[in-house]
A and B are shown apart, each in its own frame.
Chain A
Amino acid sequence: MPELLNIDNLHLEFDTYDGVVKVLAGVDLKMQRGDVLGLVGETGCGKSMTALSVPRLIPMPPGRITAGRVTFNGEDILSKTESEMEAFRARHVGMIFQDPVTNLNPLFTIREQLVDAVLYQRAQGQKVPGRWRGFLPSVRQMRMEAHDRAVELMRLTGIPDGDKRIFDYPHQFSGGMRQRVLIAMALAGDPDLLIADEPTTALDVTIQAQILRLIRSLVSQLGLTVLLITHNLGVVARSCERVAVMYSGRVVEESPVRELFKNPKHPYTRGLIAAVPQKDISRGGLEGIPGMIPNLIDPPAGCRFHPRCEHVMETCRSAVPPAIPVGEGHTASCFLYPEDA
């Protein structure tokens, strides 16, 4: 079965006044239809950049893709023209972001914003007839249908009284409800892929649990494929089937969820799991990872984790470790594991 999404050896750089920032240095990621993949990593490891390069939302310049391919359903994304991309975004990819406040326009009601999203999707990225054309029967009909669809989307995402609340402004919604509105908006185009970029980071734990439950139920109801970006390993353990761990512009380990937590292979993944305060850790038992994330203008040669790694070997300093299979559907990019095992 062909992959829905295939990111192959993606290299991304940004030009800044301080020099060229090598944000992504060979990201490989594959997603099958129906996957729920968690992309985990710390600040600055490139998880959002990886996700944003799928709908090609990275501003270029200053960004620059220097190598690699992104294919979606077999289509090459990087060679599409901008207008083809608009149609692609409208039909295939929905995105939700961390901060539900800044992603809604405070000056328009939810209805206006949701209806716009629905119409944009129906027009497949072409120009949407303005509201002022509502005197034309065809346009009015279209907008009324879009309204019904918007209410339907609100019901789907669990917003009570959607038919009334659709006339409210964003400030009248709580954080969790706003995130639901954004999910509704992302679903307007029946996307194949939902990219959720830290969707619960700004929310309280009780609301986080509600939103994660909603995402899971959408996966089973609509057969969505979800790329869930988060820095919270707990969120991944609860909602994903597969995990990819990123460090400094590369995927260092990829595995089914259970396997990753039971049997982490890459030293970075081990460090990350050991750094989360958990139930059985007594006072003083928490381990951090020594050092800091590397500077991306002048990253360490070889494996980018080697300056912080306790198992560092001579090869680590010069060669980039390939993804080595270490178990059933489990790969780790680390020289600790023999390549032909």
Chain B
Amino acid sequence: MSLLLEVNNLQKYFPVRGGLFNRRVADFRAVDDVSFALQEGKTLGLVGESGSGKTTIGKCILRLLEPTAGQILYDGADITHLKQRDLRRLRSEVQMIYQAPAASLNGRMTVGQIIGEPLWIHEQLKGDAARERVLELMNVVGLKEEHYYRYPHEFSGGQQQRIGIARALAVQPRLIVLDEPTSALDVSVQAQILNLLQDLQDQFDLTYLFISHDLGVVRYMCDEVALLYLGKIVEVAETEVIFEAPKHPYTQALISAIPEPDPDMQREEIIIRGDLSHSFPQHGCPFAPRCHAEKLATCETVPPPLIEIERQHQVACHLHPPISIAEIH
């Protein structure tokens, strides 16, 4: 199995302007030194609260935002500095599906035009040939033929999301960045869309980067999960490991906060204090002010590096030091 996507030390800072002449007075560190890798055919979940930088990472991978620093490798090739001309080829391989289905579809275009547009842009396909492909795609995502000439507002949220999925599939991508694809939908519809996404993954060998704040959905969809906190990855592991044996205090708190639809479920409820604040001490661990675990002296002074504590399980927390050489022997 090969690596399809590799992200190394990705940073995205947004300027904070102010003062005289609207100078750049500070940086807002939306994504700060994030690295992960994604195997072909797998699903990686990016999880975090609002403001943790999930969507920014997704957009950097498609180069919809220019990364400040770092490197993005797609299929072994560095795409961090691709020219505008070469980007088109990249975007026929990497596509994105957005959160708000209504806002991501042009209300003045019919469904046929929306799904057909990428075919024209990438393959110069038009006329009957394009129409045939569009109908085929509509069939794949569960839309009916008579929907071809309808406008997005005539559809329900779930149907609109199907249109967005068909549009993304039109160029036969290998990697799809799914940015909260079901958070605007009701549960019964969400289940339909999640199942559709899984079927499509099996059918077309797709690789997903699944961005979500809903841990239940992530557990259902993903092979691996990366947890973000304030633009940094705090823990990465296989889905089972994250949910059964989370190591980082933030992961533990987040998982204990999922409301499970099971009133008998007894578990320790960790309520973390305060809320996400970007004014954390720049030197220490970003989670330190809200952390419920025992505090070490280094928590407030040294940022914890992301280190491998077991095979395929990385944690950025001072409480979990790397296994020393002596322990292995």
Chain A interface (Cβ < 8 Å from any Cβ of B) = 42-43, 174-177, 204-210, 212-213, 231-238, 257-258, 261-262, 271-279, 281, 283-284, 286-290, 292-293
A204 touching B276 by the CB < 8 A rule? Answer: yes
B220 touching A175 by the CB < 8 A rule? Answer: no
Q: Using A175-B275, A213-B271 as known contacts, say yes or no to A206 and B187 having CB atoms under 8 A apart.
A: no
Decide yes or no whether B194 CB sits under 8 A from chain A: yes
A185 CA to B265 CA, complexed, in Å: 33
Give A232's nearest chain B residue, CB to CB.
B259
Least CB distance, A100 to chain B, in whole angstroms: 12
Least CB distance, B274 to chain A, in whole angstroms: 8
Q: Using A43-B186, A286-B191, A288-B188 as known contacts, say yes or no to A237 and B49 having CB atoms under 8 A apart.
A: no
A285 CA to B188 CA, complexed, in Å: 13
Question: B138 — which chain A residues lie within 8 A by C-beta?
Answer: none
Give A257's nearest chain B residue, CB to CB.
B263
A204 touching B49 by the CB < 8 A rule? Answer: yes
Least CB distance, B43 to chain A, in whole angstroms: 10
A-B contacts besides A205-B254, A237-B265, A274-B191, 18 pairs, CB < 8 Å: A42-B186, A174-B275, A174-B276, A204-B49, A205-B257, A206-B254, A209-B271, A234-B258, A271-B188, A272-B187, A275-B190, A277-B214, A278-B261, A278-B262, A281-B220, A284-B195, A286-B220, A288-B188
B158 touching A237 by the CB < 8 A rule? Answer: no
A236 touching B261 by the CB < 8 A rule? Answer: yes
A204 CA to B157 CA, complexed, in Å: 22
Least CB distance, A46 to chain B, in whole angstroms: 14
Question: A213 — which chain B residues lie within 8 A by C-beta?
Answer: 271
A232 CA to B260 CA, complexed, in Å: 9
A237 touching B156 by the CB < 8 A rule? Answer: no
Least CB distance, B99 to chain A, in whole angstroms: 14
A43 CA to B184 CA, complexed, in Å: 10
User: Could you show 11 A-B contacts with beta carbons less than 8 Å apart?
Assistant: A204-B275, A205-B213, A238-B259, A238-B260, A257-B263, A258-B264, A281-B220, A283-B198, A284-B198, A288-B189, A290-B192
Decide yes or no whether B253 CB sits under 8 A from chain A: yes
A233 CA to B216 CA, complexed, in Å: 12
Q: Using A206-B253, A284-B195 as known contacts, say yes or no to A279 and B259 having CB atoms under 8 A apart.
A: no
A261 touching B262 by the CB < 8 A rule? Answer: yes
Task: Count A-B pairs with CB separation below 8 Å.
Answer: 123
8 Å CB contact of A231 from B186, B220, B264, B269: B186
B191 touching A287 by the CB < 8 A rule? Answer: yes
Question: A278 — which chain B residues lie within 8 A by C-beta?
Answer: 216, 260-262
Question: A207 — which chain B residues lie within 8 A by C-beta?
Answer: 275
Chain B interface (Cβ < 8 Å from any Cβ of A) = 49-50, 156-159, 186-192, 194-195, 198, 213-217, 219-221, 243, 253-254, 256-265, 269, 271-272, 275-277
Give B277's nearest chain A residue, CB to CB.
A174
Question: B189 — which chain A residues lie within 8 A by C-beta?
Answer: 42, 288, 292
B260 touching A234 by the CB < 8 A rule? Answer: yes
Q: Using A206-B254, A206-B275 as known contacts, say yes or no to A275 and B198 having CB atoms under 8 A apart.
A: no
B264 touching A277 by the CB < 8 A rule? Answer: no
A47 CA to B276 CA, complexed, in Å: 31
Question: B271 — which chain A residues lie within 8 A by C-beta?
Answer: 206, 209-210, 213
Question: A208 — which chain B residues lie within 8 A by C-beta?
Answer: 257, 259
Most chain B beta carbons < 10 A, residue from A174, A204, A281: A204
Question: A276 — which chain B residues lie within 8 A by C-beta?
Answer: 187, 191, 216, 261
Question: B258 — which chain A residues lie within 8 A by C-beta?
Answer: 205, 234
Question: B253 — which chain A residues lie within 8 A by C-beta?
Answer: 206
Question: A234 — which chain B residues lie within 8 A by C-beta?
Answer: 216, 258-261
Give A173's nearest chain B residue, CB to CB.
B275
8 Å CB contact of A279 from B187, B198, B260, B264: B260
A272 CA to B261 CA, complexed, in Å: 11
Least CB distance, A290 to chain B, in whole angstroms: 8
Least CB distance, A3 to chain B, in whole angstroms: 24
A326 CA to B219 CA, complexed, in Å: 34
Give A273's nearest chain B residue, CB to CB.
B261
B263 touching A261 by the CB < 8 A rule? Answer: yes
Give B185's nearest chain A residue, CB to CB.
A43
Give A289's nearest chain B residue, CB to CB.
B188
Question: B219 — which chain A residues lie within 8 A by C-beta?
Answer: 277, 279
Q: Using A205-B215, A209-B271, A231-B187 as known contacts, say yes or no to A292 and B195 having CB atoms under 8 A apart.
A: no
A288 touching B192 by the CB < 8 A rule? Answer: yes
Question: A287 — which chain B residues lie within 8 A by C-beta?
Answer: 191
B158 touching A292 by the CB < 8 A rule? Answer: yes
Q: Using A286-B220, A292-B158 as known contacts, say yes or no to A209 and B257 having CB atoms under 8 A apart.
A: yes
A237 touching B50 by the CB < 8 A rule? Answer: no
A174 CA to B276 CA, complexed, in Å: 9
A233 touching B187 by the CB < 8 A rule? Answer: yes
Question: B191 — which chain A residues lie within 8 A by C-beta?
Answer: 274-277, 286-289
Give A230's nearest chain B residue, CB to CB.
B259
Most chain A beta carbons < 10 A, residue from B158, B190, B253, B259: B259
A207 CA to B277 CA, complexed, in Å: 13
Give A239's nearest chain B residue, CB to CB.
B259
A166 CA to B170 CA, complexed, in Å: 54
A42 CA to B214 CA, complexed, in Å: 17
Least CB distance, B213 to chain A, in whole angstroms: 7
A272 CA to B221 CA, complexed, in Å: 19
